[in-house]
Chains A and B, each alone.
Chain A
Amino acid sequence: MYDFAYHKPKSMADALAALKKAADGKLLAGGMTLIPTLKQRLAQPSDVIDLAAIGELRGIKVDGNGVTVGAMTKHAEVAASADVAKAIPALAKLAANIGDGQVRNRGTIGGSLANSDPAADYPAAVLGLGATITTNERTIAADDFFKGLFETALKEGEIITSVTFPKPAKAAYMKFPNPASRYAMVGVFVAQTSSGPRVAVTGAGPCAFRVKAMEDALAKNWSADAVAGIKVPANGLNGDIHGSPEYRAHLVTVMAKRAVAAAG
């Protein structure tokens, strides 16, 4: 790891000031991606700004409309929240299966979304539920947030503060985890929302994406059979030592079927 200057601001104002002042500043949330990245010398920030001491970024609020999760809330906290489990059980279950127990004890929702790892779990829930991402500057609809491989709509100096998930009529997430890393080879989040069915896929492409053909089919007939015959094109999907694009395309249909069946 290259050395850097470390800051631990106690307020958003101080964090934004530190970020502005830094030549090449990086925000540190849970560090479950950033620290491994630094260890491999894949990044060399001048300054690392740790958001852990900013209390307003943590916490879970649940009301009749849905769930709002503070950006620095840890996966383990979402997984263990009885309120989340009651309002959107699929979200609590997704959080309970991210990485492993120790990763869930440190990793945060804000960090996961800002990083937009192609195989992260949370992007599927954010896109599948049509969540809204709130930053220090604005709100961003999930449909406008994920832009590509490790690329989001966030601008320089913008910090995610919370994520709001509207409560669906029903929803489920199914993933085929890589047996070593627990990252999603493919994960599919399906939801019956107030604006119709949504199907969001993670792990398969450069970033999370929706499958309109499956959504249209589920709007006519909410059943696993409705999506069983729908294939996504393998062209443009991820291929690596763990699986080819064709294999991942196949898994999208399989996981979508299982998710619809699990949602009931």
Chain B
Amino acid sequence: MTMSVSMTVNGKTVSGNVEARTLLVQFLREHLGLTGTHVGCDTSQCGACVVHVDGISVKSCTLLAVQAEGAKVTTIEGLAKSAEELHPMQEAFRENHGLQCGFCTPGMVMSAIDLVKRHNYQLDEETVRHGLEGNLCRCTGYHNIVKSIIAGAAAMKAAGV
């Protein structure tokens, strides 16, 4: 069943014709060319596909594009103000060496931002580790990711984002 779908992605209104079975991540990657959102496990465990739908982090491999009809979607491409200025959480990952191969990073950053807002910028290590249950990283051992997120939370608060 082909359906038309429209939503706001990274501040722009977009629409397209998709099959009812098209996943949100397929719509983002294949229809809109936003390949920053990754597909890792494709079984809603690894979190590489995390995006925000109406400000809440979700696994876009486990959501139909039509379920996001009318929603405001933010992907990793929608975070930085410009090519020169990263989002404070992205910057914190860079500063703290919070990535190695980088495959999981878009999902990590999107989950981290939701976590920071959910806890009103107040994060300790335990909260971050529990909050990252849905994001798998096979390189870093998580230590620097946790460090990045705690630093990123403070930077987000300071920047008022």
**A and B form one complex:** yes
Give the total of B residues in contact with A, Cβ under 8 Å: 30
How many residue pairs between the two chains, A and B, have CB atoms under 8 Å in the bound complex? 76
Contact residue among B3, B21, B111, B134 (Cβ-Cβ distance under 8 Å from A2): B21
B27 → chain A closest CB, angstroms: 14
Chain A residues with CB under 8 Å of B134's CB are 99-103
Q: State A35–B25 Cα separation when bound (angstroms).
A: 13
**Among listed A4-12, A142-150, A197-205, A249-257, interface-contacting one:** A4-12
B1 an interface residue at 8 Å Cβ cutoff?
yes
Contact residue among A31, A48, A100 (Cβ-Cβ distance under 8 Å from B133): A100
B146 an interface residue at 8 Å Cβ cutoff?
no
Would A3 and B20 count as touching, CB distance under 8 A? yes
B62 an interface residue at 8 Å Cβ cutoff?
yes
Q: At the interface, is chain A mostly helix, strand, loop or mixed?
A: mixed
Interface residues of B in 1-57 (CB under 8 A from A): 1, 3, 19-21, 23, 42-45, 47, 50, 56-57
**Which A residues contact B (CB, under 8 angstroms)?**
1-6, 8, 28, 31-32, 35-36, 38-39, 48, 50, 52, 76, 80, 99-103, 105-106, 180-182
* 26 sample A-B contacts, Cβ–Cβ < 8 Å, listed by A number: A1-B21, A2-B21, A3-B1, A3-B21, A4-B1, A5-B1, A6-B3, A6-B20, A8-B66, A28-B67, A31-B64, A35-B64, A36-B62, A39-B42, A52-B67, A80-B118, A99-B134, A100-B134, A101-B57, A101-B133, A102-B50, A102-B58, A102-B59, A103-B134, A106-B58, A182-B133
**Which B residues contact A (CB, under 8 angstroms)?**
1, 3, 19-21, 23, 42-45, 47, 50, 56-59, 62-64, 66-67, 69, 111, 114-115, 118, 131, 133-135
